[in-house]
Every structure is written in structure tokens, then in C-alpha cells.
Chain A
Amino acid sequence: MTLKLRAALMAATALCGTSAMAETTLNALFMAQAAYSEDDIRAMTASFESAHPDVKINLEFVPYEGLHDKTVLSQGAGGGYDVVLFDVIWPAEYSENGILLDVSDKITEDMKAGILPGAWTTVDYDGKSYGMPWILDTKYLFYNKDMLKQAGIDTPPATWAELQEDAQTIKDAGLVDHPIVWSWAQAEAAICDYTTLLSAFGGDFLKEGAPEFQTGGGLDALHYMVDSFKSGLTNPNSKEFLEEDVRNVFQNGDAAFALNWTYMYNLANTSEESKVAGNVGVVPAPGVEGSSSVSAVNGSMGLGIPSTSENPDLAWDYIVHMTSQPVQDTYAKLSLPIWKSSYEDTAVTAGQEELIDAASKSLAAMYPRPMTPRYQEMSMALQQGIQEALLGMASPEDALQGAADNSGL
């Protein structure tokens, strides 16, 4: 019975195989969150397909939260993915488990010279490259120009302390109930906000492989979050928000300040659905007096080839296309190019000079999250700690100590 079934299955799969021989199909995994929109990615892909008529690319979009697990789980599937999007925090784990192909020798001198050095840190681990950088991203401080003007604030805050003061001024002026909005849901998004603050306060995640975030700047960062949360200056719903919730609240005019990725700038400033279009200001995330002038988290992502891909060469061609300067320059509204010279190209910078200006400072200050094969576990423990502190279930000290104990490091 099972034998028959299996034979039938094999026959069926064989049939599918022959019919697909005429053209090669690549499966690519992307995320439906932040950076390039689904429509952008579909359009970029269409231009690759029209140049390669014998190739068909199936696009798969999952939430960021599903990206890591889908990549890992597809390892068992022969016809899994040929191209996957990966976050800057995963190359260590992926390399340890042999999930991505080492593409170091495919990277040309032109690429090495033309792409920003910061971008390469996204795909490199232990001296090897596991793909091409594709999204060069960090968190910026967005502000509602109208609200700041009405509150009599001339320049956006340059330090985190100033942000609190300005927020207080705006709250007192009755312009908005909760001036600041963040993405502090139990997710990687909260870690990105935390990392930005940790870098501003001069903290460290790890020291010699052991957790260090529970002391010094790491602890100051969480104290800052908790104070801002308890004072009511931060939207209390931040504790269940992801990036898209932040964008929704900000572009509905329900917040004066927001910490978010590049993509929010043009969506909030130009799109029809935004109620604050034309009023969106962007600056680097502020610094802390005496330790930093700006702060930033490395939130970049790369495109890699899973080791199970049956068409690695074609997959590489597709990655080269997606990361090429012309493609990146064409779709530079939601994600800034990885290429140095693009930032001097007026076609790219036109209409988003403010963002480019902020980027020039932020991208240079990008702070990495720890490179460890056990990142997922550490992150999960830290997310829990941050939430416990925000919700008043534990003091920041105890919460971070608990996270350190639970981090598996």
C-alpha cells in the first residue's frame, strides 16, 4: 500500500520535473516588512526575467519573524529556496550549520571597491562572504515638523535626553498624548531599538563571549526605555508594536517622534495614505553627551544562496542583478543603495536630501548586534528581559541579569 503510494508519488513528481525542464525555476525568499516593498521586489525581478526569458522566479514573502525559521526548515527540502534574504545577525549560525554557500570567490574587485565597507559586514563571517549585501539599513529618528514648530522647537533633538525634554514640551502643549512611538513588541524589532540606545550609552553586548549588556551602557539603555515608558512620553502601546505599527501611528499624526527604518521616510512623507505627508523630518538617532554624537544599529540584510540550491550559478546571477547599482538606484526610495557613488548621484538623492544627509552620519555609526551562532537564543532571552522591565515585572537590573542567565551564552 505505502509502496504503491510512494511509487505513485514518485511518478507524479517525475512528471512535474519534466514539464519544468523547458525553463528553470528559481525560488526566492523575501520578507514582507520594511525596506523594499513587495511591488518593488516584483518589479526588480520582472526586469531580471525579461533579460533571462528561460528563467522563472517564484517569489515568496514571509513576515520578518518567519524568515529565519523558513530558511532553516527549507534545508530538508531538495527543491527549497535558491535565494534567501538573511539578516546581519544570522551568518554566524548559518555558517556553523552550513546553511548558506560560501560565495567569497564570486565577489569581484569592482564589487569590493564600489560597495560601502559597512555593507560588507552584513554578509561576512569568519573571513568568508555568505552572500551580497542588499539592504543597507539602520534606525533613524523621525519627527513631525509641524508638531515641533507648534511646540516652539527649532531643531530636532541631538541627544536622547533632549528627546525626552522635547517630548515633554510637546505633551504639555497638548499636541499629542504620547509623543514618542517605538517598536518594542517581543520581537527582534525591540532588540534593534535597544541596540541603538546601547550604542549611544557606550555599552557592550558581550565581553569575551559572555553577556555584558546587563551592566554599564546596556543597563543605561534599558533604564532609558523604562523611564520614557513610565513617564507617558512613549506611546504605551509601543510594547506590542512592530515597525509597521509605528509607521501607522506616525503617519496618522498620532506621534511626534518615531524610531524606524529608512523605508518609513518616503512612505510617510509622500504617500497618499499618510496624513503627515510633507511634514516628515529625519535625523540620525541621537547620542548621549560625553559618549556619542549619534547612534545607530546595523540593520542591514543580504541575499545568499542556500547550500541545497540546485541552481547556484543562476541564483548568483539573480543576486548580482538585485544588488546591482542600476537596480538599487532605481528603487532607492524605500531602501538606500549599497554603492558608494550612488550617494553623489542626483537622480538618487533628489527629493530625499534630508534622508541622505542623515544616512551619511548614521551609516558610519552602525553598531553591530553580536555575531554568535546562538544569537536567536540570546535575542529571545533579551526580548523577554526588556519586556519584563517595561511591564514593571522586574527592575531593569534584574531583567537584564535574568536575560544574561537565560541567554545560553
Chain B
Amino acid sequence: MEHQSRWFRLFIHLMALLVALIILMPLAWLFVMSISSNADLSAKPLRWWPNEIDISRYATLFDRSDNSAGQAFMASLFNSIKVAGMATIAAIMVAIPAGWALSRNPRLGWVLGGIIATYMLPPVALSIPLYFILAKFGLLNNVFGLGLVYLSILAPFVTWLLKSGFDPIPKDLERAAAIDGARLDQMLRIVILPLAMPVIATATIFAFLLAWDEFFYALLFTSNQDAKTLTVAIADLAGGRVSDYGLIATAGVIAALPPVLIGILMQRSLISGLTNGGVKG
């Protein structure tokens, strides 16, 4: 094994500490802001820990009484869950058969290339017609409409993830099932899906996080509590009466909590999912 001098080991530890600080400090500050009073946040010199912990903003945002700021915020939270949930389920449903077909037919490689190439399209290039199309079907400011639009981002991505996930599953199993007279759907359901469960789970999480994060389409295609998502709600808070920094931070903490918790809990499979894409290309 490599011999490491004490100085080198010290250097490595210092660097690791630095990286940890760089990552943690902004996040910690977001949390501290959310529990600091306004006086502490506008103090000069700035106070890094509040004199008195103030959790009133959490109460404000979770307050669901009629026509309150909390009700509007919670509505956007549920809209985000609905839109991301629907888009994810739909994307997985179209991507499973397609990903399987692509995995088993190398000659369809160009189709896969085309699907991945859609990633190059900036949302602004689709947004104008999508606006007119949604308007025509009465789907503007509608969670179904927004979910449908999110499919344009999720479906290609999930198909590609699942295709790489299906690749290592041996074809022998399918052959054996075919010889036993299994129909196409039976083959998928009984043979492939159980084996591919882990990769499907990972793809589901990725798709959900991607939809949770989306802002541009939501900004354009929603106008009120019926469909407005969390990302737009936060942008509205941050751009409006900006004097209450703590409230903005609190909204940020709440919006970040689901993906961050998923990130921590599912770390291993997420990292392998992320890096697989990178390593395999």
C-alpha cells in the first residue's frame, strides 16, 4: 500500500474538513435563518445564532385556516406532490416497456439516441406551443396539464435509466419463459419486473425529484392555488415582501426537506444511479 507521511495525512484531513464546511455552512445558515427573529436577521454585526429561537414561521406556513398565507403555501405543497406523483407514475409506465424493448434490441440504438437528444431541447423551445396546446384543452392552471408537460422531461430520462438497468438482466430468462409460452405482458410482469425492481425504484425517485425541482413550466402554466407548485410559491415569497427573510428561509427548508431526506436515506442507490449514467455513458 501507499505510504503516507503524517503531513500528507494532516493535509487530507484539513481538506476534508474544508469541503465539509463548504457544503454544510450554507445549509446550516438556511436553517438558522428559519428559526431566527427578524431583529436578529437584520442586526449589524450579524448574529450567527438567534438570541431566542423563533419557530413562528413554521406555524405560519402550516396554518391551514381559510385564506391564510399558510393555506396557500400548503396548497402549493400538495400541488407539487400531486404533479410530481402523477408525472412520475405516467413516466414509469411508458418507460418500462420502452426501456425493455430498447435494452433487448440493439438495433434500436438510434431511437435511444433520439430520445436522449431531446435532453438538449431547452424548455423555452417547447413552452410557447405547449402554452397554446394547454390553453386549447383547458389544461392551463391545472395539475393534470402540468403533469403532462412534465412528461416531456421525465419520460426520456426514465426510459434511458431503465434501459441501462435492464441491460444486465440475462436474456436466457426471457427465452425460457418464451419457450414455456408466456405472453409478452406475462414475460414483463413475471420475469423482468421482479428482477428490475431496484432500478425501477431508483428511477422513480429520480423522476420525482426532477419534477419536484421544476420551476419554468410551473411559472408559466399555473396561476393560482389550483395548480401552483412549491417552487413557484417560494419564488413568489422571495420576490414579494422580502423583509421577512426568516419566512423565505422557512419555506426553503420545508421545500428542501423531502428531497434531502430521500437523498440521505436512499444515498447508496441514488449515487450508483447517478454514477452509472456517468460511467456507462
Contacts and interface: CB of A to CB of B under 8 A. Distances in A.
Do A and B touch each other in the complex, judged by CB within 8 A?
yes
Interface of A: 5-6, 9, 12-13, 27, 29, 31-33, 37-38, 42, 45-46, 57-66, 70, 73-81, 242, 244-245, 247-248, 252, 273
B136 to A, nearest CB: 8
Contacts, number: 95
A63 B236 contact: yes
A76 B67 contact: no
B141 interface: yes
A77 B135 contact: yes
Nearest to B223: A74
Contacts of B142: 13, 77
Given A81-B223, A247-B243, A42 B68 contact: yes
Given A27-B223, A74-B223, A81-B223, A32 B134 contact: no
B131 interface: yes
Contacts of A76: 131-132, 134-135, 140
A79 B239 contact: no
Interface of B: 38-39, 42, 67-69, 72, 131-132, 134-135, 137-142, 144, 148, 220-221, 223-226, 228, 236-237, 239-243
Given A74-B141, A80-B141, 18 more contacts: A9-B139, A12-B144, A32-B240, A37-B241, A61-B72, A62-B236, A62-B239, A62-B240, A63-B240, A73-B223, A74-B140, A74-B223, A76-B131, A76-B134, A77-B223, A244-B240, A244-B241, A252-B42
Contacts of B239: 62-63, 65-66
B224 A81 contact: yes
A80 to B, nearest CB: 6
Contacts of B137: 6, 9
A80 B138 contact: no
Nearest to B133: A76
A38 B241 contact: yes
Contact of B225 (A45, A60, A273): A60
B226 A73 contact: no
10 contacts: A32-B237, A32-B241, A46-B67, A57-B67, A58-B224, A63-B236, A65-B239, A77-B138, A244-B240, A245-B242
A9 B147 CA distance: 11
A165 to B, nearest CB: 28
A385 B19 CA distance: 41
A6 to B, nearest CB: 7
A65 B135 CA distance: 23
A244 B225 contact: no
Given A32-B240, A76-B140, A273 B68 contact: no
B264 to A, nearest CB: 33
Contacts of A46: 67
Given A46-B67, A76-B134, A33 B240 contact: yes
Contact of B243 (A5, A13, A244): A244
A70 B223 contact: yes
B38 A79 contact: no
Nearest to B66: A46
B224 A27 contact: yes
Q: Which of B38, B67, B223, B239 has the most CB of A within 10 A?
A: B223
Contact of A29 (B67, B131, B223, B237): B223
Contacts of B226: 27, 58, 79
Contacts of A60: 72, 223-225, 228
Nearest to B237: A32
A80 B223 contact: yes
Contacts of A6: 137
Contacts of A81: 223-224
A242 B221 CA distance: 26
A64 B148 CA distance: 29
Contacts of B237: 32
A278 B72 CA distance: 34
Nearest to A245: B242
Nearest to B143: A12
Nearest to B242: A244
Contacts of B39: 273
A38 B140 contact: no
Contacts of B144: 9, 12-13
Contacts of A64: 240
Q: Which of A46, A57, A59, A252 has the most CB of B within 10 A?
A: A59
A81 B67 CA distance: 16
A42 B226 CA distance: 18
Nearest to B140: A77
Contacts of A252: 42
A29 B72 CA distance: 13
Contact of A32 (B135, B138, B140, B236): B236
Contact of A31 (B131, B134, B221, B240): B240
Nearest to B94: A1
Contacts of B224: 27, 29, 58, 60, 81
A77 B141 contact: yes
Nearest to B147: A9
Contact of A242 (B69, B148, B242): B242
A32 B244 CA distance: 12
A29 B68 CA distance: 15
A42 B242 contact: no
Contact of A78 (B138, B220, B242): B138
Contact of A73 (B38, B67, B72, B131): B131
Contacts of B228: 60
A248 B141 CA distance: 34
